[in-house]
Every structure is written in structure tokens, then in C-alpha cells.
Structure 1
Amino acid sequence: MRLSDRVLVHQVHPVKISADVTASLASNILLWRAHPRAAAAVRVALPVAGSVAVLRLADLDALARTRRGRWVRSHMPASAQAVRLAGDALMAVGARRRSPSLLAVGALVIAAGWAHPWWPHRSTRRAPSCR
């Protein structure tokens, strides 16, 4: 499997998801309590460590053949990943400002990123030209 496919598939590995969720929760708590340096370290270090561990140790070829692996390969383009990242940033801002509503909006944006298959898509077919 190509590295780009491995990087995509590793996003649905349970260890990677756990690292991301744990980092977000811990970082948001630290931001809420006004510890921005510790929050930034946690928000970056845990997901990176999770990615390194999964990319080096997990059987991503087997994961790619599962329902989750097939789903992420066909429904998680870069645009959806960017939406998820933007949602995480909104959650961080919400935690820093102690705003439950911004935290909730960030969580909804992350959910929207995961819901990419249900986004409205433009047709790639061209309309017939009128000449």
C-alpha cells in the first residue's frame, strides 16, 4: 500500500482515534484552566505519537480491507480532513475562551468532516452546450 493510503487508513485505527480524542479532551481542559503551553504540547504530541505508533506497528493492509478502511479510502478527501481540523481549532478557541457554545460548534464541525459522504456534491458531468 502506498504511504498516502497508509496515512489515510490509519485515521480509523482505534489507537489513532483514541489518541486524537484523548488529546483533544485533555488539551481543552488545559486550555479552559489557562495552561496554553501544556495544552499545545498535549494537542500535538499525543496525536503524533499515535500516528507514529499506528503507522509503524499496525497491520494497515488488513485495516484497509475492513469496512472502516474501505469507507475512509472512498469518503475522506483532503477537504473533509481540513474541515475536521478546523473543527478541532474551533474547539480549542472555545476552550481557551471558556465558551461551551464554541466547543459545541467545533464538535459539530468535526462531525461534519466525518460526514463527508452526505455533503452535497456537484456533478462532474458537463451540461450540453447550446450552440
Structure 2
Amino acid sequence: MDREAYLLHQVHPAKLATDITAGIASMGLMWQRRVATALVVAHVPAVLASVLLVRRDLTSLRRTRRGRYVLAHMPPAAQAVRLAGQIVAWWAAYRHRPAGVAAGIGLVVAGWSFGLVGSGDPDGTGIYAGAGR
């Protein structure tokens, strides 16, 4: 799968709904200290949604605001911040630390917000330089 398809599938409404729902459900399970179930709930639906979506033609997403945003402002570092935020939120939920859950969610939001702090599209092409074409 090429980098553009990988990025675009992340902003498909079905993928966003799957990831958000799975993230919330898995945090609830972590709060109950059901780690294995939480990890299955977090990852199986996300992987299935990805497998189904990357096989589709996602070029129409490229022309949407969210498509242009993710192509311009989602370098690997932003994705790492999003993952780190999810891990922090899970850890905090497991430890029953609401402030830590909020901090983890804040990191996820920060990862999605890379474009608001000046990273991304230095040449104005709408594609992050590291994304490949």
C-alpha cells in the first residue's frame, strides 16, 4: 500500500468511527483491567476497517478538506504522538487516573493537530514531503 492510500484511509468516515468507538470501548475495558479484551477490541476492528478501506479507490477523499489535511500534516511523528497518546490513555485507565486519561486523549488530539503548529506542507503541494507520491 502506498503512503497516500495509507493516510487517506485514516480519514474515511467509517475508519474514523471505528477507531473512535474502539478507542473508547478499549479504555473502558482497561479501566476494568481486562487488558487482553481491551487490546482485541482496540485492534481487530481497526485492522478490519483498514483492510477493507485500502482496497477501495480513495481518490475522492484526496479532494476533501480532511484528505488534504492528512496528506499535508500527518508525518510519521504525528502518528507516533497519536499512538503514544492512546498508550498513555490506556495506562491511565488501567490505573484509574482520570487526569492521565485526559492527558492521553490530549496527546491524540495533538497528533491530529500537527497542521496547526506549522508542520507539513513546505512546498505548497498538499502532500507531506515524507509521504512519497
Quick check: 2:25–2:41 contact (8 Å CA) kept in 1? yes
Q: What TM-score, normalized to structure 1?
A: 0.85
Matched residue SS, 1:88: helix
* AA in 2 matched with 1:116: F
Q: What TM-score, normalized to structure 2?
A: 0.84
* AA in 2 matched with 1:103: V
Aligned residue in 1 for 2:104:
106
Quick check: 2:69–2:115 contact (8 Å CA) kept in 1? no
Quick check: 2:30–2:94 contact (8 Å CA) kept in 1? yes
Aligned residue in 2 for 1:129:
none
Aligned residue in 2 for 1:69:
67
Aligned residue in 2 for 1:94:
92
Q: In 2, distance between residues paired with 1:79 and 1:34?
A: 29
Shift of residue 119, structure 1, vs aligned partner: 2.3
Q: In 2, distance between residues paired with 1:73 and 1:46?
A: 23
Greater RCO (Cα-Cα under 8 Å, separation 6 or more):
2
* AA in 1 matched with 2:21: T
Q: In 1, distance between residues paired with 2:10 and 2:22?
A: 14
Shift of residue 118, structure 1, vs aligned partner: 2.2
Q: What is the aligned-residue identity percentage?
A: 41
* AA in 2 matched with 1:79: A
Range with greater deviation from structure 2 (59-68 or 80-89):
59-68
Structure 1 stretches (4+) deviating beyond 4 angstroms?
Answer: none
Quick check: 2:33–2:94 contact (8 Å CA) kept in 1? yes
Quick check: 2:23–2:42 contact (8 Å CA) kept in 1? yes
Query: Larger Cα Rg: Structure 1 or Structure 2?
Result: 1
Distance change >3 Å, CA 60–CA 45, structure 1 → 2 = same
What RMSD over aligned residues (CA atoms) do the two structures have, in Å? 1.6
Q: In 2, distance between residues paired with 1:102 and 1:50?
A: 28
Q: In 2, distance between residues paired with 1:98 and 1:17?
A: 26
Shift of residue 5, structure 1, vs aligned partner: 0.5
- In the comparison of the two structures, how many residue pairs are matched? 120
Q: In 1, distance between residues paired with 2:6 and 2:102?
A: 28
Matched residue SS, 2:96: coil
Shift of residue 68, structure 1, vs aligned partner: 1.3
Any stretches of 5+ residues in structure 1 without a counterpart? 125-131
Shift of residue 34, structure 1, vs aligned partner: 1.7
Matched residue SS, 2:26: helix
